[in-house]
Amino acid sequence: MTADNPRPFPELPDSIDTIHIIGICGSAMGSLAAMLTDRGYTVRGSDANAYPPMSTFLQERGIDIMRGYDESNLDWDPDVVIVGNVCRAEYGDAVATRERGFPHLSLPEALRHFFFADRNPLVVTGTHGKTTTTSMLAWILTHAGRDPGFMLGGIAGNFDSNYRLGDGDVFVIEGDEYDTAYFDKVPKFWHYAPFRATINNVEFDHADIYDDIDEVEHVFRRFSQMLPKEGSLWVNADSPRAMTVSENTPATRRTFGLTEANDLRAVDIELRGRKTQFRVTLHGETLGEITLPTIGEFNVRNALGAMGIALDEGLEFEEIRAALAEFKSVKKRQEYIGGTADIEVFDDFAHHPTAVAATLNAFRRQFGDRRIWALFEATSNTSRRKVFQNDYPPAFAPADEVILKRPRDKKHDPKDYEEIDVDELIADIEAEGPRTRLIPDVDDIVDTVTAEAEPGDIIIGLSGAAFGGIHDKLVDALNQRF
């Protein structure tokens, strides 16, 4: 369970020139390092896992990386230390931070202090769809000339980046309900002082932090109460829990989704090739039609959430329509990697059963009766647990072939939980229809799929991590075979 409140904001030096980041090679921490460097600060950092592409990304920006977490990493006497979520209290440089009295911040504290001053944070939250919705909103505002700052949970196709400082009066940020740092155990989004926000949906996730759905609802409820009266909160009314947790927000609450219960609604949804077309209504009145270069009803909802905030920011529907027509997906979200002989390979971030089901259903509607391979790696702190044992089988039902990689062990994992039963999972998925196998090694999966693939097949690698480079390996192997 999370702490009751964020810690008091620490006292910082009047003048800050040098900053050390512990856990600098994490995707968010590396981006923060680059943002601070772009602002003119001297930044160095430490990490035990310094390897490409993040190590290269940092080195290209002149940011030094110290290997490991030793107390000596702080001998250069930085003005401030920023501590990543990966850092544990017993790490050497964490111990040195406390013992030597360095002022230290978590990632969300640092974002708020260095980048949100005199700007209105626009915060996108929810169990699913945060990164895509945040990317859509950042692109809509950029396309309209508003020059927002933003930080995303993935590389946005329209920017080929996951951050931009911007000079506009808003900062678009993905609001994560995961905790912040070992010394400040509250959700990241409690730190963001939201002016406008969305709640896309609320489901159980992060089983390593939250014991049950009640605890998840609690942190979203508190978040909704942090918005100011003059702000606005857009809520997906198709998610009953999202509606429940937002009941007492001081802000103006409006709703978006696909059912009649919503203020902002998508109707007449049609799949046009690899695009989705729909008509948008607000309070029953038609605003116009949107053509979105992505597939899946979940992406229609994501677009509506971004649209709601953009409308509140004063954009005209035509500005939003024009931007969404040119939207490019985020990497690892239905990302086409390559293919040959009419075999196509995709990479997708889906690992929660709801996301797996949404992705596979979208691909089934898109590709009709073509054979779909779903390759799945359970790597998140929740997917490796038994908590979703009964939810995964129906999620994989739209696929024809399912291959599971054995759940990845994680360093420092206490294993004080019941792991997902892979043998039971295989039997239950097969009962839903797809042929299902466990192949523990990535290279063996590549060999198997390459040998059995036929022209017309669709292959989707589903993982919240890199999946051992399986997507590029498959494309290379298929090119060699065909």
Q: At a CB cut-off of 8 Å and minimum separation 6, what does 75 contact?
A: none
Parallel, antiparallel, or unpaired for β 161-164 and 343-348? Answer: unpaired
Tokens of 299: 């992406």
| Token pair listed for 200 | 């896309």
What tokens does 225 get?
A: 């109460």
Give the pairing type, strands 275-282 and 285-292. antiparallel
DSSP string over 320-370 = HHHHHHT--PBTTSSEEEEEETTEEEEEE---SHHHHHHHHHHHHHHHTTS
Asked whether the beta carbons of 23 and 29 are under 8 A apart, the reply is yes
* Superfamily (CATH H level) for 18-107: NAD(P)-binding Rossmann-like Domain (3.40.50.720)
Give the residue extent of every domain in the chain.
18-107, 116-325, 335-481
Indicate the CATH number of 116-325 among 3.40.1360.10, 3.40.1190.10, 3.10.20.30, 3.30.360.10.
3.40.1190.10
Q: What is the DSSP string of 368-412?
A: TTS-EEEEEE--STTTTBGGGTTTHHHHTTT-SEEEEEPPPP-TT
The fold adopted by the segment(s) 335-481 is Protein-Tyrosine Phosphatase; Chain A (3.90.190)
Helix, strand, coil share (%) of the chain residues, nearest 5: 35, 25, 40
Cα–Cα distance for residue pair 52/54, rounded to 1 Å: 5
Burial class (CB in 10 A: 0-12, 13-18, 19+), 68: middle
Q: Please tell me the pTM assigned to this model.
A: 0.83
CA 2/CA 243 separation, integer angstroms: 22
Same fold, 18-107 and 335-481: no
Q: Which two tokens stand for residue 469?
A: 């480079």
List the pLDDT tens digit at each of the 482 positions of the chain: 577 888 889 999 999 999 999 999 888 898 999 999 999 999 999 998 877 677 888 888 899 999 999 999 999 999 999 999 889 999 999 999 999 999 999 999 999 999 998 899 999 999 888 889 999 999 999 999 999 999 987 778 899 888 999 999 999 999 988 888 999 889 999 999 999 999 998 987 776 777 888 899 999 999 999 999 999 999 999 999 999 999 999 999 999 999 999 999 999 998 877 789 999 999 999 999 999 998 888 899 999 999 999 999 999 999 999 999 999 987 777 788 898 889 999 988 877 888 888 889 888 988 888 999 999 887 777 677 777 788 889 999 999 999 998 776 655 555 566 787 888 988 999 999 999 999 988 999 999 999 999 999 999 998 877 788 888 999 999 999 89
CA atoms within 13 A on the CB side of 349: 13
